[in-house]
Amino acid sequence: MSESPGASPLQTVDRALEVLLSYSERRTDWGVLELAADLGIDKSAAHRLLAALASKKFLRRDPVTRRYSLGPAMWRMAALWERTGGLGALALQVLEPLAHDTDRTAIFAIPDGLHVRCVAAVDGARPMRSHSLVGELYPANAGATSRAYFAFLDGIERRSLIAGRVFARFSELTQNDEQALERLFEETARQGYAYSEGEYDYRTRALGLPVLLGARPVGSLSLGESKYPERPDSLLEHLPRLRRAADDLSALLDIETQRRRTGRHPARRLPSPTPSITTDTGRPS
Protein backbone atom coordinates (compact mmCIF):
# COMPACT_ATOMS: atom_id res chain seq x y z
CA MET A 1 0.00 0.00 0.00
CA SER A 2 1.83 3.06 -1.24
CA GLU A 3 0.32 6.38 -0.11
CA SER A 4 2.79 8.58 -1.93
CA PRO A 5 6.31 8.18 -3.31
CA GLY A 6 7.84 9.83 -0.24
CA ALA A 7 5.68 8.23 2.43
CA SER A 8 7.34 5.85 4.88
CA PRO A 9 5.73 2.41 5.47
CA LEU A 10 4.84 3.39 9.04
CA GLN A 11 3.25 6.64 7.89
CA THR A 12 1.19 4.76 5.33
CA VAL A 13 0.05 2.16 7.87
CA ASP A 14 -0.85 4.92 10.31
CA ARG A 15 -2.94 6.68 7.65
CA ALA A 16 -4.70 3.43 6.73
CA LEU A 17 -5.58 2.77 10.37
CA GLU A 18 -6.80 6.35 10.70
CA VAL A 19 -9.15 5.76 7.77
CA LEU A 20 -10.62 2.64 9.41
CA LEU A 21 -11.01 4.38 12.77
CA SER A 22 -12.79 7.29 11.12
CA TYR A 23 -15.91 5.18 10.48
CA SER A 24 -18.71 5.64 12.99
CA GLU A 25 -22.49 5.90 13.23
CA ARG A 26 -22.14 9.42 11.86
CA ARG A 27 -19.59 8.54 9.19
CA THR A 28 -20.59 5.33 7.38
CA ASP A 29 -18.86 5.96 4.07
CA TRP A 30 -16.19 8.11 2.41
CA GLY A 31 -15.73 9.62 -0.99
CA VAL A 32 -12.20 10.15 -2.27
CA LEU A 33 -12.35 13.95 -2.25
CA GLU A 34 -13.88 14.04 1.24
CA LEU A 35 -11.20 11.78 2.66
CA ALA A 36 -8.41 13.77 0.98
CA ALA A 37 -9.71 16.98 2.55
CA ASP A 38 -10.18 15.35 5.96
CA LEU A 39 -6.67 13.87 6.07
CA GLY A 40 -4.99 16.80 4.35
CA ILE A 41 -3.55 14.68 1.54
CA ASP A 42 -3.94 14.83 -2.22
CA LYS A 43 -6.69 13.06 -4.14
CA SER A 44 -4.45 10.37 -5.62
CA ALA A 45 -3.06 9.42 -2.20
CA ALA A 46 -6.58 9.19 -0.75
CA HIS A 47 -7.67 7.04 -3.67
CA ARG A 48 -4.73 4.67 -3.18
CA LEU A 49 -5.48 4.31 0.53
CA LEU A 50 -9.14 3.51 -0.06
CA ALA A 51 -8.44 1.19 -2.99
CA ALA A 52 -5.79 -0.75 -1.05
CA LEU A 53 -8.13 -1.25 1.93
CA ALA A 54 -10.90 -2.33 -0.45
CA SER A 55 -8.58 -4.84 -2.14
CA LYS A 56 -8.16 -6.59 1.23
CA LYS A 57 -11.93 -6.31 1.88
CA PHE A 58 -11.58 -3.99 4.87
CA LEU A 59 -13.64 -1.58 2.79
CA ARG A 60 -16.27 -2.05 0.09
CA ARG A 61 -16.65 0.29 -2.89
CA ASP A 62 -20.14 0.98 -4.13
CA PRO A 63 -19.96 0.71 -7.94
CA VAL A 64 -22.70 3.32 -8.40
CA THR A 65 -21.81 6.02 -5.87
CA ARG A 66 -18.07 5.17 -5.82
CA ARG A 67 -18.12 5.65 -2.06
CA TYR A 68 -16.33 3.36 0.38
CA SER A 69 -18.02 1.71 3.36
CA LEU A 70 -16.78 -0.95 5.78
CA GLY A 71 -16.22 -4.36 4.24
CA PRO A 72 -16.52 -8.02 5.29
CA ALA A 73 -12.97 -8.24 6.65
CA MET A 74 -14.07 -5.91 9.45
CA TRP A 75 -16.88 -8.31 10.36
CA ARG A 76 -14.39 -11.19 10.36
CA MET A 77 -12.02 -9.34 12.67
CA ALA A 78 -14.84 -8.29 14.99
CA ALA A 79 -16.18 -11.84 15.16
CA LEU A 80 -12.71 -13.19 15.91
CA TRP A 81 -12.26 -10.59 18.64
CA GLU A 82 -15.52 -11.65 20.28
CA ARG A 83 -14.64 -15.37 20.04
CA THR A 84 -11.33 -14.69 21.79
CA GLY A 85 -12.86 -12.77 24.70
CA GLY A 86 -13.78 -9.43 23.15
CA LEU A 87 -15.45 -6.90 25.39
CA GLY A 88 -15.56 -9.28 28.33
CA ALA A 89 -11.81 -9.83 28.36
CA LEU A 90 -11.17 -6.11 27.97
CA ALA A 91 -13.51 -5.26 30.84
CA LEU A 92 -11.87 -7.69 33.26
CA GLN A 93 -8.95 -5.36 33.86
CA VAL A 94 -11.44 -2.88 35.33
CA LEU A 95 -13.81 -5.37 37.00
CA GLU A 96 -11.19 -7.34 38.89
CA PRO A 97 -9.80 -4.43 40.97
CA LEU A 98 -13.33 -3.05 41.42
CA ALA A 99 -14.59 -6.35 42.88
CA HIS A 100 -11.48 -6.61 45.07
CA ASP A 101 -11.73 -3.06 46.41
CA THR A 102 -15.47 -3.19 47.17
CA ASP A 103 -15.86 -6.89 48.05
CA ARG A 104 -18.92 -6.97 45.78
CA THR A 105 -19.77 -8.59 42.47
CA ALA A 106 -18.79 -6.30 39.57
CA ILE A 107 -20.84 -6.62 36.37
CA PHE A 108 -20.38 -5.16 32.88
CA ALA A 109 -23.45 -5.43 30.67
CA ILE A 110 -24.26 -4.29 27.13
CA PRO A 111 -27.63 -3.65 25.45
CA ASP A 112 -29.56 -6.55 23.99
CA GLY A 113 -33.00 -5.41 22.83
CA LEU A 114 -35.09 -4.53 25.89
CA HIS A 115 -32.46 -6.05 28.16
CA VAL A 116 -28.81 -5.66 28.96
CA ARG A 117 -26.66 -8.77 28.78
CA CYS A 118 -23.80 -9.48 31.17
CA VAL A 119 -20.58 -9.99 29.21
CA ALA A 120 -18.19 -9.99 32.18
CA ALA A 121 -18.55 -10.40 35.93
CA VAL A 122 -16.09 -10.75 38.79
CA ASP A 123 -17.07 -11.77 42.32
CA GLY A 124 -15.76 -10.33 45.54
CA ALA A 125 -15.16 -12.52 48.57
CA ARG A 126 -18.90 -13.18 48.92
CA PRO A 127 -20.51 -13.80 45.50
CA MET A 128 -23.94 -12.33 44.82
CA ARG A 129 -25.09 -15.56 43.16
CA SER A 130 -23.96 -19.16 43.28
CA HIS A 131 -23.77 -19.41 39.47
CA SER A 132 -21.94 -17.51 36.75
CA LEU A 133 -23.64 -14.28 35.69
CA VAL A 134 -22.03 -14.10 32.24
CA GLY A 135 -24.75 -14.32 29.62
CA GLU A 136 -27.56 -13.37 32.00
CA LEU A 137 -30.17 -10.93 30.66
CA TYR A 138 -31.46 -8.09 32.84
CA PRO A 139 -34.79 -6.61 31.71
CA ALA A 140 -35.15 -2.87 31.20
CA ASN A 141 -37.84 -2.56 33.88
CA ALA A 142 -36.08 -4.37 36.72
CA GLY A 143 -32.87 -3.54 38.54
CA ALA A 144 -29.99 -1.10 38.56
CA THR A 145 -27.85 -3.06 36.10
CA SER A 146 -30.31 -2.44 33.26
CA ARG A 147 -31.59 0.94 34.45
CA ALA A 148 -28.05 2.34 34.50
CA TYR A 149 -28.09 1.92 30.71
CA PHE A 150 -31.69 2.70 29.72
CA ALA A 151 -32.06 5.76 31.96
CA PHE A 152 -29.20 7.53 30.20
CA LEU A 153 -30.38 6.90 26.66
CA ASP A 154 -31.85 9.82 24.77
CA GLY A 155 -35.43 10.10 26.02
CA ILE A 156 -36.99 9.87 22.57
CA GLU A 157 -34.96 6.78 21.70
CA ARG A 158 -35.82 5.13 25.02
CA ARG A 159 -39.54 5.84 24.76
CA SER A 160 -39.61 4.43 21.23
CA LEU A 161 -38.12 1.21 22.62
CA ILE A 162 -40.53 0.75 25.51
CA ALA A 163 -43.75 2.21 24.04
CA GLY A 164 -46.53 -0.36 24.08
CA ARG A 165 -44.34 -3.12 25.51
CA VAL A 166 -45.65 -5.57 28.09
CA PHE A 167 -43.17 -5.99 30.94
CA ALA A 168 -42.96 -8.98 33.24
CA ARG A 169 -42.97 -8.72 37.02
CA PHE A 170 -40.23 -10.54 38.93
CA SER A 171 -41.25 -9.45 42.42
CA GLU A 172 -43.77 -7.14 44.06
CA LEU A 173 -41.19 -4.36 43.62
CA THR A 174 -40.86 -4.71 39.83
CA GLN A 175 -42.23 -1.73 37.93
CA ASN A 176 -44.21 -2.71 34.83
CA ASP A 177 -46.33 0.39 34.20
CA GLU A 178 -44.95 2.23 31.18
CA GLN A 179 -45.50 5.78 32.45
CA ALA A 180 -44.22 5.02 35.94
CA LEU A 181 -41.19 3.33 34.43
CA GLU A 182 -40.41 6.40 32.34
CA ARG A 183 -40.61 8.58 35.45
CA LEU A 184 -38.21 6.19 37.15
CA PHE A 185 -35.75 6.47 34.25
CA GLU A 186 -35.95 10.27 34.35
CA GLU A 187 -35.38 10.32 38.12
CA THR A 188 -32.38 8.02 37.73
CA ALA A 189 -30.87 10.27 35.05
CA ARG A 190 -31.26 13.31 37.31
CA GLN A 191 -29.76 11.44 40.25
CA GLY A 192 -26.79 10.29 38.20
CA TYR A 193 -26.81 6.62 39.20
CA ALA A 194 -29.19 3.66 39.48
CA TYR A 195 -29.97 1.83 42.70
CA SER A 196 -32.27 -1.14 43.22
CA GLU A 197 -33.33 -3.59 45.89
CA GLY A 198 -35.34 -6.68 45.15
CA GLU A 199 -36.74 -5.69 41.75
CA TYR A 200 -35.24 -8.48 39.67
CA ASP A 201 -34.27 -10.83 42.50
CA TYR A 202 -35.78 -10.07 45.90
CA ARG A 203 -32.60 -11.36 47.59
CA THR A 204 -30.20 -8.86 45.97
CA ARG A 205 -29.46 -5.16 45.60
CA ALA A 206 -27.37 -3.32 43.02
CA LEU A 207 -25.78 0.02 42.23
CA GLY A 208 -25.09 0.96 38.61
CA LEU A 209 -23.63 3.62 36.33
CA PRO A 210 -23.65 3.97 32.55
CA VAL A 211 -20.51 3.32 30.53
CA LEU A 212 -20.31 6.25 28.13
CA LEU A 213 -18.70 6.88 24.79
CA GLY A 214 -19.01 10.60 24.37
CA ALA A 215 -22.48 11.39 25.69
CA ARG A 216 -23.98 8.06 24.65
CA PRO A 217 -24.29 5.03 26.95
CA VAL A 218 -22.95 1.80 25.47
CA GLY A 219 -23.53 -0.40 28.52
CA SER A 220 -23.60 -0.38 32.29
CA LEU A 221 -21.19 -1.11 35.11
CA SER A 222 -22.75 -2.24 38.35
CA LEU A 223 -21.98 -3.61 41.80
CA GLY A 224 -24.27 -6.25 43.21
CA GLU A 225 -24.63 -8.01 46.53
CA SER A 226 -26.87 -10.39 48.39
CA LYS A 227 -29.03 -8.64 50.98
CA TYR A 228 -28.37 -11.45 53.46
CA PRO A 229 -26.45 -11.20 55.68
CA GLU A 230 -26.29 -7.41 55.97
CA ARG A 231 -22.86 -5.82 55.65
CA PRO A 232 -21.44 -3.04 57.83
CA ASP A 233 -20.72 -0.84 54.78
CA SER A 234 -23.51 0.40 52.56
CA LEU A 235 -23.39 -0.39 48.85
CA LEU A 236 -23.83 3.31 48.11
CA GLU A 237 -20.59 4.09 49.93
CA HIS A 238 -18.80 2.55 46.96
CA LEU A 239 -20.31 4.94 44.40
CA PRO A 240 -17.09 7.02 44.05
CA ARG A 241 -15.07 3.84 43.37
CA LEU A 242 -17.69 2.65 40.87
CA ARG A 243 -17.59 6.03 39.15
CA ARG A 244 -13.81 5.81 38.70
CA ALA A 245 -14.18 2.32 37.28
CA ALA A 246 -16.87 3.45 34.83
CA ASP A 247 -14.60 6.26 33.64
CA ASP A 248 -11.71 3.78 33.26
CA LEU A 249 -13.87 1.40 31.23
CA SER A 250 -15.15 4.22 29.02
CA ALA A 251 -11.54 5.21 28.33
CA LEU A 252 -10.63 1.63 27.39
CA LEU A 253 -13.48 1.46 24.89
CA ASP A 254 -13.08 4.92 23.42
CA ILE A 255 -11.22 5.05 20.13
CA GLU A 256 -12.82 8.35 19.10
CA THR A 257 -10.49 10.31 21.36
CA GLN A 258 -7.67 9.21 19.08
CA ARG A 259 -9.24 11.22 16.30
CA ARG A 260 -10.35 14.66 17.46
CA ARG A 261 -11.67 15.89 14.14
CA THR A 262 -14.77 13.67 14.28
CA GLY A 263 -16.45 16.48 16.21
CA ARG A 264 -17.83 14.30 19.00
CA HIS A 265 -18.19 15.75 22.43
CA PRO A 266 -16.00 14.62 25.34
CA ALA A 267 -17.46 12.19 27.84
CA ARG A 268 -20.26 13.75 29.80
CA ARG A 269 -19.71 13.94 33.53
CA LEU A 270 -22.57 12.54 35.55
CA PRO A 271 -24.16 14.61 38.31
CA SER A 272 -22.54 14.43 41.73
CA PRO A 273 -24.31 11.83 43.85
CA THR A 274 -26.78 12.82 46.50
CA PRO A 275 -26.40 9.86 48.87
CA SER A 276 -30.03 9.32 49.70
CA ILE A 277 -31.49 5.95 48.83
CA THR A 278 -35.15 5.78 48.03
CA THR A 279 -36.75 2.90 49.83
CA ASP A 280 -38.39 -0.10 48.21
CA THR A 281 -41.82 1.40 48.79
CA GLY A 282 -40.95 4.75 47.25
CA ARG A 283 -38.74 3.82 44.26
CA PRO A 284 -36.23 3.79 42.67
CA SER A 285 -35.10 0.32 43.45
Helix count (H) and strand count (E) of the chain? 9, 9
List, in sequence order, every residue forming a beta bridge with 212; answer none if it has no partner. Answer: 217
Distance (Å, whole) CA 192 – CA 120? 23
Distance (Å, whole) CA 284 – CA 55? 53
Q: What is the pLDDT of residues 96-126, one digit of tens each?
A: 999 999 999 999 999 999 999 999 999 998 8
Question: Domain 9-71 is of which CATH architecture?
Answer: Orthogonal Bundle (1.10)
pLDDT at 255: 64
pLDDT at 105: 96
pLDDT at 84: 67
Q: What is the pLDDT of residues 216-245, one digit of tens each?
A: 999 999 999 998 888 889 999 999 999 999
Which pLDDT tens digits describe the chain residue by residue (285 residues)? 444 555 567 788 888 888 998 888 788 999 999 999 988 889 999 999 999 999 999 999 999 999 999 999 988 888 777 776 788 888 999 999 999 999 999 999 999 999 999 999 999 988 888 888 998 999 999 999 999 999 999 999 999 998 888 899 999 999 989 999 999 999 999 999 999 999 999 899 999 999 998 889 999 999 999 988 888 899 999 999 999 999 999 998 886 544 443 443 333 333 434 333 333 333 333
DSSP conformation class of 143: S
Where are the domains positioned within the chain?
9-71, 85-262
The domain defined by 85-262 folds into Beta-Lactamase (3.30.450)
Distance (Å, whole) CA 271 – CA 145? 18
- Measured in whole angstroms, the distance separating CA 201 from the mean position of its chain's CA atoms is 24
